[in-house]
Amino acid sequence: MPHLTVEYTDNLAGLPGQQLLAELNAVVCGHTTVQDEADVKARLLPLSCFEIGTAPAQRGFVHVQLRLLSGRSDAVKKELSDAMAAVLHRLTPQPPGMLVQLSVEIADMDRASYYKGRL
Protein backbone atom coordinates (compact mmCIF):
# COMPACT_ATOMS: atom_id res chain seq x y z
CA MET A 1 0.00 0.00 0.00
CA PRO A 2 -0.57 2.61 -1.39
CA HIS A 3 -1.46 1.55 -4.94
CA LEU A 4 -1.41 4.22 -7.63
CA THR A 5 -2.98 3.44 -11.01
CA VAL A 6 -3.06 5.84 -13.95
CA GLU A 7 -5.30 4.94 -16.89
CA TYR A 8 -5.24 7.08 -20.03
CA THR A 9 -6.61 6.92 -23.55
CA ASP A 10 -3.86 6.25 -26.03
CA ASN A 11 -5.12 8.98 -28.36
CA LEU A 12 -3.41 11.55 -26.13
CA ALA A 13 -0.33 11.94 -28.29
CA GLY A 14 2.58 13.40 -26.40
CA LEU A 15 1.49 12.33 -22.92
CA PRO A 16 4.78 12.10 -20.99
CA GLY A 17 3.87 8.80 -19.32
CA GLN A 18 7.03 8.13 -17.37
CA GLN A 19 7.26 11.73 -16.15
CA LEU A 20 3.58 11.75 -15.20
CA LEU A 21 3.95 8.53 -13.24
CA ALA A 22 7.14 9.74 -11.53
CA GLU A 23 5.61 13.05 -10.47
CA LEU A 24 2.39 11.50 -9.20
CA ASN A 25 4.44 8.92 -7.33
CA ALA A 26 6.52 11.73 -5.79
CA VAL A 27 3.34 13.46 -4.58
CA VAL A 28 2.20 10.31 -2.80
CA CYS A 29 5.63 9.35 -1.46
CA GLY A 30 6.19 12.88 -0.17
CA HIS A 31 2.97 13.06 1.83
CA THR A 32 3.41 12.96 5.60
CA THR A 33 0.99 10.03 5.96
CA VAL A 34 3.15 7.74 3.79
CA GLN A 35 5.85 6.29 6.00
CA ASP A 36 7.96 4.30 3.50
CA GLU A 37 8.37 5.37 -0.13
CA ALA A 38 8.98 1.73 -1.08
CA ASP A 39 5.37 0.98 -0.11
CA VAL A 40 3.99 2.97 -3.06
CA LYS A 41 3.29 0.79 -6.08
CA ALA A 42 2.51 2.78 -9.24
CA ARG A 43 1.50 1.71 -12.71
CA LEU A 44 0.56 3.42 -15.98
CA LEU A 45 -2.06 1.76 -18.21
CA PRO A 46 -2.71 2.99 -21.76
CA LEU A 47 -6.18 2.19 -23.06
CA SER A 48 -6.60 1.46 -26.74
CA CYS A 49 -10.21 0.30 -26.48
CA PHE A 50 -12.49 2.86 -24.82
CA GLU A 51 -15.72 4.83 -25.27
CA ILE A 52 -16.48 8.28 -23.91
CA GLY A 53 -20.15 9.17 -24.13
CA THR A 54 -22.07 8.54 -27.35
CA ALA A 55 -21.23 11.53 -29.57
CA PRO A 56 -18.80 10.97 -32.45
CA ALA A 57 -16.25 13.43 -31.09
CA GLN A 58 -12.55 13.46 -30.36
CA ARG A 59 -12.32 12.72 -26.66
CA GLY A 60 -9.77 11.36 -24.22
CA PHE A 61 -9.17 11.04 -20.51
CA VAL A 62 -6.63 10.49 -17.79
CA HIS A 63 -7.89 8.87 -14.59
CA VAL A 64 -5.82 8.42 -11.44
CA GLN A 65 -6.87 6.05 -8.71
CA LEU A 66 -5.00 6.01 -5.41
CA ARG A 67 -5.89 3.16 -3.08
CA LEU A 68 -4.90 3.70 0.55
CA LEU A 69 -5.42 1.72 3.71
CA SER A 70 -8.56 2.99 5.42
CA GLY A 71 -8.31 5.49 8.24
CA ARG A 72 -7.10 8.68 6.58
CA SER A 73 -9.21 11.79 7.02
CA ASP A 74 -11.18 13.43 4.22
CA ALA A 75 -8.82 16.40 4.49
CA VAL A 76 -5.77 14.21 3.82
CA LYS A 77 -7.50 12.57 0.85
CA LYS A 78 -8.42 16.01 -0.52
CA GLU A 79 -4.80 17.21 -0.19
CA LEU A 80 -3.57 14.20 -2.14
CA SER A 81 -6.31 14.52 -4.75
CA ASP A 82 -5.66 18.23 -5.32
CA ALA A 83 -1.89 17.72 -5.59
CA MET A 84 -2.29 14.90 -8.11
CA ALA A 85 -4.86 16.91 -10.11
CA ALA A 86 -2.33 19.76 -10.37
CA VAL A 87 0.20 17.34 -11.89
CA LEU A 88 -2.42 16.09 -14.38
CA HIS A 89 -3.30 19.65 -15.44
CA ARG A 90 0.36 20.53 -15.95
CA LEU A 91 1.44 17.42 -17.88
CA THR A 92 -1.59 16.26 -19.86
CA PRO A 93 -1.57 17.45 -23.47
CA GLN A 94 -4.72 18.79 -25.09
CA PRO A 95 -4.63 17.96 -28.80
CA PRO A 96 -6.47 20.55 -30.93
CA GLY A 97 -10.20 19.89 -31.11
CA MET A 98 -10.13 17.19 -28.43
CA LEU A 99 -12.06 17.21 -25.17
CA VAL A 100 -9.78 15.76 -22.47
CA GLN A 101 -11.23 14.82 -19.09
CA LEU A 102 -9.07 14.51 -15.97
CA SER A 103 -10.12 12.71 -12.80
CA VAL A 104 -8.62 11.61 -9.49
CA GLU A 105 -10.17 9.06 -7.15
CA ILE A 106 -9.00 8.21 -3.64
CA ALA A 107 -10.28 4.80 -2.52
CA ASP A 108 -9.99 3.08 0.85
CA MET A 109 -8.69 -0.47 1.16
CA ASP A 110 -10.02 -2.49 4.06
CA ARG A 111 -7.30 -2.44 6.68
CA ALA A 112 -8.57 -5.61 8.42
CA SER A 113 -8.27 -7.83 5.34
CA TYR A 114 -5.34 -6.26 3.46
CA TYR A 115 -2.19 -8.36 3.30
CA LYS A 116 1.26 -7.13 2.38
CA GLY A 117 4.46 -9.11 2.64
CA ARG A 118 8.06 -8.62 1.55
CA LEU A 119 10.62 -11.07 0.28
What domains does the chain contain, in order, with CATH numbers?
A: 3-109 (3.30.429.10)
pTM of the model: 0.92
Torsion sign over Cα 112, 113, 114, 119: positive
The answer on pLDDT for 1 being more than 80 is no
Q: Cα–Cα distance between 46 and 117 in angstroms, integer?
A: 28
Task: Give residues with Cβ within 8 angstroms of 65, minimum separation 6.
Answer: 3, 4, 5, 7, 104, 105, 107
The answer on pLDDT for 49 being more than 90 is yes
Q: What is the pLDDT of residues 58-95, one digit of tens each?
A: 999 999 999 999 999 999 999 999 999 999 999 999 99
Of the candidates 21, 41, 20, 40, the one whose C-alpha atom is nearest the C-alpha of residue 31 is 40
